Structure 1
Amino acid sequence: MSKESGAVPAPRANAVLALLLLAYIFNFLDRQILGILAGPIITELKLTDAEFGAIGGLAFALLYSVLGVPLAMLADRTSRSKVIAGAVAVWSAFTALCGTAANFGQLFLYRLGVGVGEAGGVAPAYALIADYFPPHRRARALAIFSLGIPLGLASGTLIGAYLASWVSWRAAFIVMGVAGLILAPIMLIFVRDLPRPKVAVADQVPLSRAFPIIAKKPTFWLMASAASCSSLAGYGLALWVPSVLERSFGFGLLERGHFLASIFLIGGTAGVFLGGWLADRLGQSDRRWYGRLPAIAWLITAPTFAIGLMSPDPWLAWPLLLIPNALNILWLGPVTTAVQHLVPQPMRSTASASFLLINNLIGLGVGPTLIGALSVMFKESYGTEALRYAAVSVVGFYVIAAILMFFAVRRLREDWVDDSAAA
């Protein structure tokens, strides 16, 4: 069988996409559950904001970012589907272990483990989707996959809040981890690789060959830097806004869960899907729209996030925060599609992993940790409002992201590699 991605029957491609989406939902569910449970975790384990920020950001990002590239290379050389299934099993097991943590060191270690597992899940999934879907449907398919982010954020927020309210924060981690362990063998059975061109097997596309192709393109560095600035603010806010609602607005655990889950679900899903749909429509005539759309969205995101977070009334904050929660992740479909097209087909997992390495090391590693550290720094000046001001401080990174992406747009057409290009 030597079918190209355009020849895969739609029902089969859609079924694979649905399972990859489910795994991605669990990916972000297991990340976000930490944020909604911040209050009881900080209280029981006696953590400072700086320590909790390190657990939510640095602990997860260290191995998650670094291992992404070698695991993506392994996926390119062996089986992308098997690497994804193994990743689901590993991150789910460590999520369950988080429910047994007795102190800062143990929780930090278990979050490192969650990062190890999730390192193998995203880049191979991007490449599988690019294999299964033809170019004119690829941004929409990647946008649908990226719906795992808002759906996972909403699910993690709501499920975590209810389980912690009914039982304990520890039970929430354990239940979610066991659910992921059940999903892993299902992924292994039903998600399969497509046959790849012989050149991909013969040459094995080593990093020494793949990375120089990416690295010599300024577009890659500009897009990766732009996405990193956006992720720095986005990941930081996702972890800490639940605590802002608790400290500045006086919300209880279930109130925080309902408030944020509705924002993530409505705003996030709309933003992700709109980004993919618009990119496919506009990008057919001008590839530069794959970068323009995110840049415009980020320019609107920055002020609306700041105004929403500083709102004196939580119910006025809801519609204000809905807008940036839609626009701050609109970039996912367009930018991940563009990164796929900066290299030939056999190198897509490696290209995605290189992009994710930069994006996650800066976004995940710095964002949550920075807000936690700023909260401690602002404590003397702002008291209980210190965390709110720390959160507002990072929204300026969306403006930086927009500027960098506008520079990337200038070269995107020249750096684009069509599917027909030789490896």
Structure 2
Amino acid sequence: MKAAPSPLQAPAAHPPPDARAWYVLGALCFVYVLNFLDRQLLSILAKPIQDDLGVTDGQLGLISGLYFALFYCTISIPVAWLADRANRVKVLSIACALWSAATVACGLSATYPQLVAARMAVGVGEAGGVPPSYAIITDYFAPGRRGTALGLFNLGPPLGQAMGVAFGASIAAAYSWRSAFVVLGVVGIVAAIVVWATIREPKRGGLDQPAAGVAPAPMEKAGFMETVSMFFGRKDLVLLSLACGATQFVTYAVMNFTVLFLMREKGMSLQEVALYYALLIGVGISLGMYASGRLIDRYSVRYRQAYALIPAVGLLGAVPFFTGFVWAPRWELALLFLIGPTFFNYFYLSPAVALVQEAVRPNQRVMSGALLLLVMNLIGLGLGPTYLGAASDYFRATNPDNSLQIAFYTLIPFYFLAIGMFLMLARVLKGMAHRNGGH
């Protein structure tokens, strides 16, 4: 029996991506934009929703964090297992249609329990949208180009949040918060139809073989428990997932309460949010995503620990700017400080996705991407916003005018927890590289 090739590969002499590959990347990025836009509408429109339905910060934290994450976790693994064995484009299209319909339902909700049920249904987006997209892109772009491709794909969250702020806040200011949910949900249903009709399912692992003269081996379907055991049996993948989860504890907490913080404690209006905050988020996070993807393509082939050191350096650079953002007395100065975290906070995502997609077999990529998201979202999305909302409610009893500010300060130790975990991962990756004869 021949030894299996190392999952992490050096770039082969494949031709550059063609126009179809770039179209697929653009279309999937647009779907990711809608995915994140729909999920972030709740935090963007938190103030008018609070005014209309009378919900507390703690209830907002639960509906945008724990409730959403729990529903995602119940379906993400079976959906990923199905996508590793079925047509990934169709799985993505159906998921997009479902979460978009759930977004429309959010706008039609008349009570908090109805809004909770609709928001939990939006969790289909994370479960059936992102992991198949990771695998589809990996099969359209060869090794050595995937970091940049995944970095461009990961522009979806900042663009989605920026567009949600710009269009969602503008529609809400002109009409109502309900109209914003309905309009943007309908757009997602149309996008799902376009993806189904125009994107072709790529061959699994088709770009993982040497470019010339080697026939690809038959691709067997990976067993469910085989993939789960492989993922959680690898120290590098488990540590990566936990480090990303610690990072997302901060990023999701901040993301879900920044607009409310700027409006309630920094004096920003909804119209100002729609213009200035949207621009900052769209440009800052996008540049961070793209820069980290390029850095990974440049350094990871020679230095495997780059997958961990790049996120660690980014988070360390974010800390002083985040502290200034929380301290700033007015929204104008707060936004200036916020430029730093919006750029550095997301240096972890493209390296993490690229590492997982490169490190596992092609028939385990969707499932492995889902397991990464499962751990990340259980910790980050499930606990981050829930914690921050509960902390704000706790501090409100003694500090009613700045309870969110104090709650934001308590996130700083979690930055250092994430940095420490990425440094531990760097040591593990370096040791693995040395054992395999690399750097």
User: 1:89 offset after TM fit, Å?
Assistant: 0.2
Query: In structure 2, do the counterparts of structure 1 residues 72 and 415 end up closer, same or farther at CA, with 3 Å as the change threshold?
Result: farther
- Structure 2 matches for 1:205-284, cutoff 5 A? 205-284=222-301
Query: In structure 2, do the counterparts of structure 1 residues 5 and 49 end up closer, same or farther at CA, with 3 Å as the change threshold?
Result: farther
CA contact (8 A) 1:217 1:415 kept: no
Question: What amino acid sits opposite 1:103 in the alignment?
Answer: T
User: 1:87 offset after TM fit, Å?
Assistant: 0.7
Query: Does residue 115 of the first structure (1) align with residue 132 of the second (2)?
Result: no
Deviations 1:289-344 (A, max 9, x none): 11100011111222321221211232222221111111101111111101112322
Q: Distance in 1 between matches of 2:76 and 2:148?
A: 24
Question: Which piece of structure 1 moves more, 68-77 or 392-401?
Answer: 392-401
Which residue is equivalent to 1:178?
186
Which residue is equivalent to 2:330?
313
CA contact (8 A) 1:226 1:405 kept: yes
Q: Distance in 2 between matches of 1:261 and 1:199?
A: 48
Which residue is equivalent to 1:367?
384
Aligned-partner SS, 1:366 = helix
**Identity within the alignment, %:** 37
Question: Which piece of structure 1 moves more, 121-130 or 62-71?
Answer: 62-71
Question: Which piece of structure 1 moves more, 363-372 or 335-344?
Answer: 335-344
Q: Distance in 1 between matches of 2:252 and 2:369?
A: 19
Q: Distance in 1 between matches of 2:218 and 2:322?
A: 44
Question: Which piece of structure 1 moves more, 329-338 or 271-280?
Answer: 329-338
Which has more helix, going by share of residues?
Answer: 1
Deviations 1:388-416 (A, max 9, x none): 21122123212111110111111225658
Question: What amino acid sits opposite 1:102 in the alignment?
Answer: A
Question: What amino acid sits opposite 1:115 in the alignment?
Answer: G
CA contact (8 A) 2:41 2:164 kept: yes
CA contact (8 A) 2:267 2:330 kept: no
Q: Distance in 1 between matches of 2:427 and 2:185?
A: 44
Q: Distance in 1 between matches of 2:432 and 2:71?
A: 30
User: 1:236 offset after TM fit, Å?
Assistant: 1.1
Query: Does residue 150 of the first structure (1) align with residue 163 of the second (2)?
Result: no
CA contact (8 A) 2:263 2:269 kept: yes
User: 1:116 offset after TM fit, Å?
Assistant: 2.2
Aligned-partner SS, 2:403 = helix
Question: What amino acid sits opposite 2:304 in the alignment?
Answer: R
Correspondence for 1:133 among 109, 129, 141 = 141
Correspondence for 1:57 among 65, 76, 92 = 65
Q: CA RMSD in A?
A: 1.7
Aligned-partner SS, 2:359 = coil
Query: In structure 2, do the counterparts of structure 1 residues 8 and 212 end up closer, same or farther at CA, with 3 Å as the change threshold?
Result: farther
CA contact (8 A) 1:5 1:133 kept: no
Q: Distance in 1 between matches of 2:374 and 2:390?
A: 23
Q: Distance in 2 between matches of 1:401 and 1:279?
A: 19
Q: TM-score, normalised by structure 2?
A: 0.90
CA contact (8 A) 2:246 2:414 kept: yes
Correspondence for 1:92 among 90, 100, 107 = 100
Q: Distance in 2 between matches of 1:105 and 1:241?
A: 24
Which residue is equivalent to 2:420?
403
CA contact (8 A) 1:288 1:410 kept: yes
Which residue is equivalent to 2:437?
none
Aligned-partner SS, 2:110 = coil
Correspondence for 1:23 among 26, 31, 37 = 31
Gaps of 5+ in 1: 417-423
Which residue is equivalent to 1:300?
317
Question: Which piece of structure 1 moves more, 47-56 or 168-177?
Answer: 47-56
- Structure 2 matches for 1:318-329, cutoff 5 A? 318-329=335-346
User: 1:5 offset after TM fit, Å?
Assistant: 11
Which residue is equivalent to 1:420?
none
Q: Distance in 2 between matches of 1:379 and 1:92?
A: 35
- Structure 2 matches for 1:339-418, cutoff 5 A? 339-412=356-429
CA contact (8 A) 1:63 1:119 kept: no
CA contact (8 A) 1:92 1:178 kept: yes
CA contact (8 A) 1:94 1:110 kept: yes
Aligned-partner SS, 2:402 = helix
Q: Distance in 2 between matches of 1:80 and 1:160?
A: 30
User: 1:201 offset after TM fit, Å?
Assistant: 5.3
Which residue is equivalent to 1:421?
none
CA contact (8 A) 2:204 2:362 kept: no
User: 1:6 offset after TM fit, Å?
Assistant: 4.1
CA contact (8 A) 1:88 1:118 kept: no
Gaps of 5+ in 2: 1-11, 206-215, 434-439
